[in-house]
Structure 1
Amino acid sequence: MARPNPLYGTGIFRRRIRLQAAQGQVSVDLEDGNHGFRLRLWHDGERVTTVEVDPLRIPFNTCAEAQRPLQRVIGHRLDEDDATLRSRLVPGDNCTHLYDMAVLAVAHAAAHLSKRRGDGITDDGCTTCLYDMEVDDERDGVTRARIACNGQPVHDWAIAQHTLHEPAEHAGRPVMRGFHAWASKSFSGMPREAAFALQRAYFVAQARRHSFEPAAEHPGASDGMPQGACYSYNTGVVERAFRSNGTVRDFTDSPELLLKFLP
């Protein structure tokens, strides 16, 4: 059983995602207090042809194996919808974060291709999007969660008991189970993508409440997570999922270190 983190209530969970779309390829880099990944996706203008992953910092020794189910993205048409991609990849079979990165990569590949065709672009210009997420530790029962895109604020939420209290137009909406349904209808374009990214950051930020040290005493099977919560919590994997030593980082006071992937 994990112990309470004695520092919880004094810090900020930070996550940064950088997307770079160029001709025929998209790169996605993600780093937060628990994870560090690089993903590269290639396409031929119609379908995904290759996907490669660098699992630089992972919670469990088994996480790197999730590169295998992610290969199902190969062959996906860039003009197919999110539901088709979801059914192809099956989120519970994958690492949650690699799944999210693949979805982002496909979306940005399609958007970049559409922009090139629509604007008549003929060079190999690269389009970059940088998302910065901040989730404050809960204080007085309330958590503040924010996301900016390329330095511009997009969402600023006040959350209590996994329910939105601010902004007023979304008060009462769930931030955990049921989030995807209402957010899909309430947002579009970049704000929709940012809302999904911020919700995921809020979910991962809950890990700050706990201390899993020493790692050897907290194997995956001891977490009590449901089957299919992610790749490493699946039957046949969770039994050999052991926590990695020394991989948790606190970026509360050092956001500038995100995406530097320091050892």
Structure 2
Amino acid sequence: MARPNPHYGIGTFRRRLRVSAAAGEVAVELEDCNHGFRLRLWHDGERVTTVEVEPLRIPFNTCAEAVRPLQRAVGHRLDEDEATLRSRLVPGDNCTHMHDMAILAVAHAAAHRGEERTTRLYDMAVDDERDGITRARVACDGAPVHDWHIATPRSHAITAPAELAGKPVMRGFHAWASQAFDGMPREAAVALQRAYFVAQARRHSFEPVAAHPGISDGMPQGACYSYNTGAVERALRSEGTVRDFTHTPEHLLKFLP
């Protein structure tokens, strides 16, 4: 069983996500305390033709295998909607983060026009819970987009700003967020929700990693690729992969050893 993280309560979970689109290809990079990935997607203007992922820092030895189910994105038409792509990929069969990056890459492939490269950079920061409240915020290209106070861990519902009070940020999030936001603000909200979800890992320490194989977590089937039957029995935690970027956000996306 995981032990409480003795440093929880004084830190900040940080995640950085960069999307770069050019003619025929999109690159997505992601790094946070537990993960580091680079994804590249190629298309012919109509369909996805190739998806490649570099899993640079992963929680389990089995995570890299999730590149295989991600190949279901190949052949997806860029003019089809996101729901169609999600049904093709099946989120529970995939690494959550590779899946999210692929969804994002396809959206930018569909939206990109012309030959000029476009880049978008998201920075998410989720403070450790203090007095039952977590502050979560996201900026796009350095400009603030969302800043939420969330009741944690009681309801995982927003308490501020007032116009969003009561909205859930765990189960039920996508239903309201897809109606409340559009375009870049919606993309930023989805990125922030995922950061808030992953930030809960800061509560726990899994040291020594050899004593905490994936199967000991008791996660349900379909939580992600490494927690599925056939993988979870082989899932061993990676040694020395957890980082704390509380005071060093400038290190994100440098993928330092």
* TM-score, normalization by structure 1: 0.96
CA-based RMSD: 0.5
Alignment partner of 1:159 is 2:184: no
Mapping of residues 89-104 of structure 1, within 5 Å? 89-104=89-104
Corresponding residue SS for 2:68: helix
Match of 2:121 among 113, 130, 133: 130
Q: Which one of the candidate residues 136, 158, 178 is aligned to 1:145?
A: 136
* Aligned with residue 218 of structure 1, among 199, 209, 212: 212
Q: Partners of 1:176 and 1:88 in 2: how far apart?
A: 23
Distance 2:161 2:52 in 1: 38
The one-character-per-residue Cα deviations of 1:80-129 (angstroms, maximum 9, x if unpaired) are: 1011000000000000000000000000111113xx3xxxxxxx310000
Give the whole-Å Cα distance in 2 for the aligned partners of 1:242 and 1:15. Answer: 24
Distance 1:63 1:254 in 2: 26
1:190 aligns with 2:184: yes
- Confirm or deny that 1:12 pairs with 2:17: no
| Corresponding residue for residue 225 of structure 2 | 231
Structure 1 residue 187: deviation in Å? 0.7
1:249 to 229, 243, 251: 243
Structure 2's unaligned 5+ residue stretches are none
CA distance in 2: counterparts of 1:251 and 1:223, whole angstroms: 25
User: 1:38 aligns to what?
Assistant: 38
Question: Does 1:176 pair with 2:170?
Answer: yes
**C-alpha separation in 2, matches of 1:29 and 1:78:** 21
Partner secondary structure for residue 108 of structure 1: helix
In structure 2, distance between residues paired with 1:262 and 1:75:
34
- SS of 2:241's partner is coil
SS of alignment partner, residue 80 of structure 2: coil
Task: Read off the aligned partner of 1:147 and give its amino acid letter.
Answer: V
- The runs of 5 or more residues in structure 1 that have no matched partner are 117-123
Query: Percent of counterpart pairs with the same letter?
Result: 80
Aligned residue runs from structure 1 range 193-204, under 5 A: 193-204=187-198
Give the Cα separation in 2 of the matches to 1:224 and 1:169: 37
Shift of 1:211: 0.1
* 1:82 matches 2:82: yes
Q: Structure 1 residue runs of 4+, over 2 Å off?
A: none
* CA–CA distance in structure 2, aligned partners of residues 211 and 54 of structure 1: 26
1:213 and 1:197 mapped to 2: Cα distance? Answer: 28
Aligned equivalents of 1:8, 1:93: Cα separation in 2: 31
Query: What corresponds to 2:22 in structure 1?
Result: 22
TM-score for both structures, normalised by structure 2: 0.98
Deviations 1:154-200 (A, max 9, x none): 00000003110011111001110011111111111111111010000
After superposition, what is the alpha-carbon deviation per residue over 1:39-62, rounded to whole angstroms, capped at 9, x for unaligned?
000000000000000000000000
Instruction: Give the Cα separation in 2 of the matches to 1:202 and 1:12.
Output: 11
Work out the CA distance in 2 between the residues paired with 1:54 and 1:75: 21
Whole-Å separation in 1 of the counterparts to 2:150 and 2:11 = 16
d(CA) in 2 for partners of 1:106, 1:83: 12
Residue 131 of structure 1 deviates from its aligned partner by 0.2
> Matches of 1:165 and 1:130 in 2, distance apart?
27
> Aligned AA for 1:222?
S
